Amino acid sequence: MQQQLILNLLITFCFCANFLTAQVTVDFPKQKEVATQSSADFSAIDLNGLWESEITQLNWLGEPKFVGTTGKLHVELTQRGDKVTGLLVCRAKYAGDAGYLSYEKKFEGQWANGKLLYQDVSVHNYINTHKTLRHLETCLKTAELNFYNVNGVYHLEGEWQGQGHRSDVDCVPGKIHLTKVFDEQLTTEVANTVNVNFAEIDKQPVELKWNKKGQIKRLKKRKVKSGRTIKVSSTRLSIAVYDHKKDDGDIISLYYNGSWLLEKLEIDHTDHMVDVFLEEGTNAPNYLLLYAHNLGEHPPNTVAIIVDDGYKRQRFVLNSDMHESDVIYFELKKK
């Protein structure tokens, strides 16, 4: 069994409250009658296995809406003594065809005396493509989850608080409720959903090769140009992409740090906006790669890229064809 808590599907609002102008409370599920559990019995509790997860949050004005809210909410929990670690994978599509949100979140916990102390640790591969809501953040949550047993069914429940994962702005708080699922329930159990569905998306591995200089050599058997390195002043970047010169039917994908930002998009003179965060503390450079799916009416496939780090807007032109891709590397300026 993996030494992780793997969240296959999770319902949560993942933004901080720096857009908040008013709060509206929501009704949380009522806790059932709790069976008596002495402190001595907690050491025998086995948290390993599949859990149903429900995470709710107080409403805030301006919060985005999502689609695709059906399905089960499951947490694969692995316990090693009193230590718990895990990975949350977020894949959510905004309502109104406004874009999507994607990230991975590492978290950990400590189990003692019938309480699980939950804490989000870090966020990676954060991508937001909402058309108008820029610089949204997810919440790094902390919670004290109390264990209780109802008719042999295990529950963990508690209120969470958190801060934006980049700005440290306080999030609108909420509640976490986990229910352990037994094998005989797996075929019949259905979880309620609230606003958003998170699901790990299965993707085929991308063939990516590097040279000794730390530059990408090939992507999907295509050569990659030497590209250019640009310096930025912030780890938060807003990237706009649009067709350079003529709208000639160019279809492109953008590949950023191991994830597809945009896939098979026919670009025009309309800006397509994407928010990303630079990954720090890694040996590999941060990069943005242009992958062409056609040549349009006027080869090669050419796009304009505007990189905005909050201090400066830099514009570049990338060219790719069916045999070679173009790339930009990002370097964070030293303060």
The secondary structure of 69-103 as a DSSP string is --S--EEEE--BTTEEEEEEEEEEEEGGG--EEEE
Q: What angle do CA 223, 280, 141 make, to 5 degrees?
A: 125
CA atoms within 13 A on the CB side of 73: 24
Domain that holds residue 215: 208-332
Distance of CA 288 to the CA centre of its chain: 18
Q: Could you tell me which residues come within 8 angstroms of residue 209 by beta carbon, excluding any fewer than 6 positions away?
A: 216, 217, 218, 219
Last residue of a domain, one of 180, 199, 218: 199
Shared domain check, 218 and 124 = no
Shared domain check, 154 and 128 = yes
Which residues in the chain land under pLDDT 70?
1-40, 61, 68-74, 183-206, 246-248, 298
Asked if residues 197 and 71 have their Cβ atoms less than 8 Å apart, the reply is yes
Asked if residues 252 and 242 have their Cβ atoms less than 8 Å apart, the reply is no
Q: Could you tell me which residues come within 8 angstroms of residue 113 by beta carbon, excluding any fewer than 6 positions away?
A: 39, 42
Residue with tokens 């608080």: 161
| Nearest by Cα to 75 from 56, 52, 54, 91 | 52
What's the start-to-end Cα distance of the chain, in Å?
A: 44
Q: How many residues does the chain have?
A: 335
Shared domain check, 313 and 263 = yes
Last residue of a domain, one of 175, 199, 223: 199
Asked if residues 216 and 222 have their Cβ atoms less than 8 Å apart, the reply is no
Shared domain check, 105 and 36 = yes
Shared domain check, 177 and 156 = yes
Shared domain check, 147 and 30 = yes
Domain count within the chain: 2
| Nearest by Cα to 61 from 112, 169, 123, 133 | 133
Report the alpha-carbon distance of residue 38 to residue 114 in Å, rounded: 9
Shared domain check, 230 and 156 = no
Structure pTM?
0.62
Shared domain check, 129 and 232 = no
Report the alpha-carbon distance of residue 160 to residue 58 in Å, rounded: 11
Shared domain check, 313 and 226 = yes
Last residue of a domain, one of 199, 233, 252: 199
Shared domain check, 81 and 50 = yes
Cα Rg of the chain, angstroms: 22
Shared domain check, 152 and 270 = no
Report the alpha-carbon distance of residue 327 to residue 333 in Å, rounded: 19
Shared domain check, 187 and 57 = yes
